[in-house]
Amino acid sequence: MKRLTLLALLFCGSMALCAQDAPVTKTSYKDWVKQAPRYEDAFFTTSEAARIADNVLLYQQTTGGWPKNIRMQEVLSDEDKAKVALLKDRVNDSTIDNNATITEIQYLARMYNATGDERYKQAVIDGIQYIFNAQYPNGGWPQFWPRNKGYYTHITYNDNAMVNVMEVLRDIYEGDAPYTFLPDSIKQVAHESFNKGVDCILATQIVKDGKLTVWCAQHDAKTLEPAKARAYELPSYSGQESDDVVLLLMSIPNPSPQVIASVEGAINWFNENKVVGLKKEFFTDEFGRKDYRMVPCEDCDPLWARFYDLETTRPFFSDRDGVKRYDISEIGHERRNGYSWYNNHGLKVLKRYDKWKKEWEIDK
């Protein structure tokens, strides 16, 4: 069963607000975060765009941020709208997880560009201010803010939460569309915030035997050490989340010696921890469920595991009991198929690295 936000739980029974109860013809929150950035500019002059924008404004909380997993494109009844309006002060639901807040900021910025409606501009500024307020003094961002306990307070690379925020900040301070209307004062703070984020990335990179490696999916906000999140998300080297962190570092122009060293250390780790000679083989199990197993292969692309043991650098997997296992067949069907345990994203990192070295004339 998928985890729900408290906001969604409050509205179960309302088809417009509970994605998991919606018929297959209804859209999901994933459709929102995927589709919203893809709308053509002309769409934002339509009545449908304005209707969705009204939903986005309605869901914005007094923090300036938004809750996650909301289907902003759904048609809400007056009763639904009244219920949502009552939750504006439920500030613990504001988050950058699952592309929340950044998707809404971008959408409303495009609405302002198309219409000149000052409501959208102010909501964008409030959303950006939420990002500024949520950033720790050390430069990291928690998954949810404000919260004062739980894994939600960790510096969060999981699902690219922090990287996504930093990419938006860079668009803002560089004056890229759709943020061209923002004042220089906000652009300046965005630049400072981005740089602090880079400092946090460098500070949280795991050092093993004196060598820089990669990152955990989340780090303790105070100690900066790798930290546990959900039961199956144990402290580890993360072959899943570290790839986009490295890509972000390689996108920084005129990289400093510290950034260069960080990238080099991560690239060495990716090269040393490839999973070779394995691929997924899908099958239907005895209960008629789709499943997969890892089988030997020749001439197949390398993979990287999501989690690697911090002591042995051995790939591991966990079920909801939080026990490390070293073969994916040893965890249950639900977690094996409900989570991404292997990926090949390291290939794009290695490919980009070769261009990065040439671009900045970096000798290894």
The three-state secondary structure class of 187 is: helix
The active-site residue, picked from 147, 230, 293, 336, is 230
Give the chain's radius of gyration (CA, Å).
21
Rounded CA gap, 191 and 174, in Å? Answer: 8
Which of 2-11, 35-44, 223-232 bottoms out in mean pLDDT, i.e. has the lowest? 2-11
pLDDT at 186 over 60: yes
Per-residue pLDDT band at 166 (split at 50, 70, 90): very high
The active-site residue, picked from 98, 99, 158, 164, is 98
What is the distance in angstroms between the CA of the first residue and the CA of the last residue of the chain? 47
Contacts of 87 (CB under 8 A, 6+ apart): 7, 10, 61, 93
pLDDT tens figures, 83-123: 999 999 999 999 999 999 999 999 999 999 999 999 999 99
Tell me, what's the pLDDT at 1?
31
Per the annotation, the verdict on 133 as an active-site residue is no
Tell me, what's the pLDDT at 27?
64
pLDDT tens figures, 322-360: 999 999 999 999 999 999 999 999 999 999 999 999 999
Per-residue pLDDT band at 30 (split at 50, 70, 90): confident
More confident residue, 362 or 300: 300
H or E stretch including 247?
A: helix 242-250
Q: Do domains 1-204 and 206-364 have the same CATH topology?
A: yes
CATH number for 206-364 (one of 1.10.3720.10, 3.40.50.300, 3.30.365.10, 1.50.10.20): it is 1.50.10.20
Question: Environment class of residue 243 by beta-carbon count within 10 Å: exposed (0-12), middle (13-18) or buried (19+)?
Answer: buried
CATH topology for the 1-204 domain? Glycosyltransferase (1.50.10)
Residue extents of the structural domains in the chain: 1-204, 206-364
pLDDT at 192 over 80: yes
In the chain, what percentage of residues exceed pLDDT 70? Answer: 92
Please compute the mean of the pLDDT values over residues 62-71 and round it to a whole number.
97
In the chain, what percentage of residues exceed pLDDT 90? Answer: 90
pLDDT at 8 over 70: no
Per the annotation, the verdict on 98 as an active-site residue is yes
Neighbour count for residue 228 (Cβ, 10 Å): 17
Q: What is the mean pLDDT of the chain?
A: 92
Per-residue pLDDT band at 29 (split at 50, 70, 90): confident
Look up the pTM and report it. 0.90
Instruction: Give the Cα-Cα-Cα angle 206, 207, 212 (nearest 5 degrees).
Output: 90
Q: Which of 171, 144, 56, 175 is nearest to 107 (CA)?
A: 56
Tell me, what's the pLDDT at 6?
36
pLDDT at 156 over 90: yes
Rounded CA gap, 277 and 298, in Å? Answer: 6
Sequence length of the chain is: 364
At how many degrees (to 10) do helices 184-204 and 242-250 cross? 130
Q: Taking a C-beta distance cutoff of 8 angstroms, is the pair 205, 181 a contact? A: no
Tell me, what's the pLDDT at 28?
78
